[in-house]
Structure 1
Amino acid sequence: MILNPSGLRIEPFPPPPPFPASFLPARARVPVNEEAERFSNLEVTGRQEVVLKALQVIEPRLRRLTMVVVGGVPMLHGDIGLGKLVPLPVMGEGMARLASLVLAIGNASDGVVLVDKIENGLHHSILPKVWRAIGEVAREFNTQVFATTHSLECIVAAHRAFSESGSYDFRLHRLERFDEAIHVVTYDQEALEAAIDIGLEVR
């Protein structure tokens, strides 16, 4: 790494990983043309219904997803029974965030997806359903999801969702500083359940 007046630069630039990988930042949205390409990739293989099913967690009225070109730019639209298609971003930040998550997972089959502050844009009341949807899509595409969060509600929601799924393929890794170093503390299902029950800090 090289720090200069213009910022931080990495040299040499690391090679791409030998498997499909994607990163979703905390705030910036995925460009609509990139979302369109990811949806099209799933549509080519007949797996676009995975996205529809996941988004119905937030919007049960959603019947269909399709691409519409607006101003020369392809954009994902949905049919929620209004007589015309609605651009996905207009349906709310939660819909756009979950769509980005699911599309990234579906396009990283046998790979990984990195998500910063996964709870951003998602109301706390739907977090358990969102985690269930993420788990189902990740299993279907054999994609490993690494997500950061500072939200205890998000952690508890993930724990509950995977506990009820029949397959607890979830781990919480907490970074702690002691002895002048950063250490990783890993919680499995039993340890996390106990920590939540007695009110231990797990964020």
Structure 2
Amino acid sequence: INIFTRLNKDILLSLKISLMQSSIVSISDNLNENKDITIHFNHKCQKNEQENILTIREIKNIEEKTGVVERQYQAKEYVNKSNAIYFPVNIFSFESIYFLRNIRMANKEEKLVKYLQIFDENIKDVEEINGEILIKSLDFNQKVPLKIFGYGFIKFFNYICALVSNEANYILIDEIENGLHYKTTKKLIESLIELSRKNNIQMFISTHSLEFLSSVEKVANEKEFKDLGVFNIYRYKENVYCKHYQSEQLKDLLNNGIELRR
């Protein structure tokens, strides 16, 4: 959330954001004393519409001041090449059909299938019928719904759809290691690096897995991928800190047992 405002004095702003989305809020009014501002705005994520709440509160001498001013703001469009795509931990709440339609309109089906075959070589085709994604695979006698596949493949499918569709400059993935088998992790990382390079997409990935970080380091080294940064975010007492490591430092950190998951 980017906040633009004109203030008559320096104050501490405490932001409480209910959902981590990308929007710009412009406040041109001068803030009076003893006033908090609460901004309610609707955020449309494909078929689902959610309400986000942003509170700007002045804190002085550790005492909260009273008074609330409410205004309505309209969120920016969710999917735009200048914006970001966010993958939550619960991947089933993410609908990739929008990206599949764009892939088919751009005649990129073969490219999509090629990357899906990295995960499962029996995949032959993907299509949409009556709003449902169907997969053609040698493992079945007929096309079957995506939802009957394993959690790991569904995650892989959604990530690859978004990258091949090339609809955003930024992709954010929360706890990527959940549901992934260690044998498929390397294939996923290779695909993410290759597609993000080709489409000039910057990726932000959170993880608690040392195994995943180790796989990232090995693949990045094999692919000579230097555009990688690791951020260790941790809480100490009442504060949150962040340490930034360059890609060439990651191997040494892992080999020396430095804790990166605090």
TM-score interval (norm. to shorter): 0.7 to 0.9
More displaced 10-residue stretch of structure 1: 125-134 or 83-92: 83-92
1:53 deviates by 2.2
Given residue 53 of structure 2, which amino acid in structure 1 is its aligned partner? R
Give ranges in structure 1 of 5+ residues lacking alignment. none
Correspondence for 1:164: 222
Report the secondary structure of 1:75's partner residue.
strand
- Higher relative strand content: 2
Report the secondary structure of 1:176's partner residue.
strand
More displaced 10-residue stretch of structure 1: 192-201 or 20-29: 20-29
1:62 deviates by 1.2
Correspondence for 2:204: 146
Matched, 1:186 2:238: no
Q: TM-score, normalised by structure 2?
A: 0.65
- Higher relative helix content: 1
More displaced 10-residue stretch of structure 1: 35-44 or 174-183: 174-183
Q: CA RMSD in A?
A: 2.7
Correspondence for 2:125: 64
Larger radius of gyration: 2
- The question of whether the paired residues in 2 share the 8 Å contact of 1:109 and 1:142 is answered with no
Given residue 193 of structure 1, which amino acid in structure 2 is its aligned partner? K
- The question of whether the paired residues in 2 share the 8 Å contact of 1:119 and 1:149 is answered with yes
1:49 deviates by 2.8
Q: Which ranges of 4 or more aligned residues in structure 1 deviate by more than 4 Å?
A: 11-15
Give ranges in structure 2 of 5+ residues lacking alignment. 1-15, 17-37, 39-50, 56-71
Report the secondary structure of 1:172's partner residue.
strand
Correspondence for 1:46: 107
Aligned residues: 195
Q: For the residues of structure 2 that align with 1:14 and 1:191, how far apart are their CA atoms?
A: 43
- The question of whether the paired residues in 1 share the 8 Å contact of 2:136 and 2:144 is answered with yes
Report the secondary structure of 1:57's partner residue.
helix
1:177 deviates by 3.7
Q: TM-score, normalised by structure 1?
A: 0.82
